[in-house]
Amino acid sequence: MSLFDNFNVAGSAMNAQSLRLNLVASNMANADTITQNPDEAYRARHPVFQQVLQDADNQATGVRMVAVVENQSPIPVRHQPGHPLADENGNIYSSNVNMVEQMVDMISASRSYQSNVEVFNTSKQLLLQTLRLGS
């Protein structure tokens, strides 16, 4: 693995964490949505990542998002017969977004992004120092 490969790995990891943060933001924005049909209720979305392998020697050269899966936990039901979106039984259905889980995921993604920025910057500094040694 060359020093230049570090940039690809760190860059793809930063991209992955950015996508993860976008999904967290979307989940948090839709946390309070309600509907009159449980099939239409917003379900929390989570990314699925896969490492990218180099063909020659099966070394990891990055990460990519391969799918977005929806949380399959039950949709919360509340009995509010006076609500304008209540169904014929007086129930409304809200999203299954857990705000505590989303906050933890947001902090984790943010710190992972910051760590990869540090890897990127350290690799850059090492490369610059190597070039200075050669001159």
Cα–chain center distance at 132: 38
**Long-range contacts, 72-81 (Cβ 8 Å, 24+):** 72/43, 73/44, 75/38, 75/41, 75/43, 77/38
Task: Check pLDDT > 90 for residue 5.
Answer: no
Q: Return the H-helix or E-strand segment holding 78.
A: strand 77-79
The Cα angle at residue 119 between residues 118 and 123, in degrees rounded to 5: 115
For residue 96, CA distances in Å to 10, 16, 18 come to 32, 24, 23
**Residues 125, 22: contact at Cβ < 8 Å?**
no
d(CA 36, CA 93): 6
How confident is the model over 40-55, as a mean pLDDT?
90
Q: Report pLDDT for 94.
A: 95
- The token pair that represents 88 in the structure block: 């014929």
The Cα angle at residue 33 between residues 28 and 37, in degrees rounded to 5: 135
Q: Report pLDDT for 131.
A: 83
How confident is the model over 7-14, as a mean pLDDT?
90
d(CA 27, CA 75): 14
pLDDT digits (tens, 9 = 90+) for 15-31: 999 999 999 999 999 99
pLDDT digits (tens, 9 = 90+) for 57-112: 767 678 889 999 999 999 999 999 999 999 999 999 999 999 999 999 999 999 99
Q: Report pLDDT for 133.
A: 84
Q: Report pLDDT for 87.
A: 92
Q: Report pLDDT for 1.
A: 57
- The token pair that represents 135 in the structure block: 């001159």
